[in-house]
Amino acid sequence: MMFFYAVVKDGAMSLIKIENILQKFRLALVALSGAALICMVLMITLDVFLRFVFNAPLPASLEMSQLFEPHVVFLPMAFALATGSHVRVSLFTQHFRGRIRKWVEIFDFSIALIFFGLFFYWGWLHFWASFKINEIMLASIKLYWWTGKLAMPLGLCLITVECLYQMVLIFARPAANKAL
């Protein structure tokens, strides 16, 4: 717990610097996710157009869309957590105040940190195994599986860091610190 107070005691500038760095990573991953979504939509639209107009669909469009999907899902997760736009069930916790609410939030973020950390580790091992053997999809063109598998550890790494940062922010709240 002293670590959190040391970060806060050193000044808000440390938290602002961390926030700025995290925000750059969040926005970069959201931009990549958006680009993947746009590419997927354009590719599927082109595939449908070519299929029905010229009877010549794009080769492996289904497989390529499967490679884009993890980028659309995993990369923006930390941004959703940071902006509060993810799904929350706060039926009971909305009634908590002061120290109780603070410790419930710490508990929630601790569980999330462990969960996302474990899945990040597993996702990295899964990606790395695929990358090492240059795993190829069974498709009409050569597509590498690891390009899709990279999105999971990237997104989960950043949301794991985001959970830790949210815990630091909870300890840094002035109202919560006075209630101690």
Token pair in block for residue 71:
């980028």
Q: Is residue 91 part of a domain?
A: yes
Token pair in block for residue 138:
């069974």
What's the pLDDT score for residue 10?
A: 55
**Which residue in the block uniquely carries the two structure tokens 């922010």?**
169
CA distances in angstroms from 138 to 20, 62, 135, listed in the order given? 42, 11, 10
Q: Is residue 140 part of a domain?
A: yes
* Total-model pTM: 0.84
Q: Is residue 4 part of a domain?
A: no
Token pair in block for residue 48:
């449908």
- How far apart CA 33 and CA 40 sit, in angstroms, is 10
Q: Is residue 167 part of a domain?
A: yes
Phi-psi region of 89 (alpha: psi -120 to 50; beta: other; left: phi over 0): beta
**CB burial class (10 A; 0-12, 13-18, 19+) of residue 30?**
middle
What's the pLDDT score for residue 1?
A: 38
- How far apart CA 145 and CA 52 sit, in angstroms, is 29
What's the pLDDT score for residue 11?
A: 55
Q: Is residue 2 part of a domain?
A: no
What's the pLDDT score for residue 95?
A: 81
- How far apart CA 127 and CA 146 sit, in angstroms, is 6
What's the pLDDT score for residue 87?
A: 77
DSSP per-residue string spanning 124-164: HHHHHHHHHTT-B-SSSS--BTHHHHTHHHHHHHHHHHHHH
CA distances in angstroms from 11 to 5, 14, 15, 77, 90, listed in the order given? 10, 6, 8, 28, 31
Count structural domains, the chain. Answer: 1
Q: Is residue 69 part of a domain?
A: yes
Q: Is residue 3 part of a domain?
A: no
What's the pLDDT score for residue 137?
A: 93
Give the number of other CB atoms < 10 A from CB of residue 2. Answer: 7
pLDDT one digit per residue (tens) for the chain, 180 residues? 344 444 545 556 788 899 999 999 999 999 999 999 999 999 999 999 999 999 999 999 999 999 999 999 999 999 999 998 887 777 777 788 888 889 989 999 999 999 999 999 999 999 999 999 999 999 999 999 999 999 999 999 999 999 999 999 998 876 544 544
Residues whose CB falls within 8 Å of the CB of residue 61, separated by 6 or more in sequence, listed in order: 43, 44, 47
What's the pLDDT score for residue 12?
A: 65
Q: Is residue 5 part of a domain?
A: no
Domain that holds residue 23: 10-178
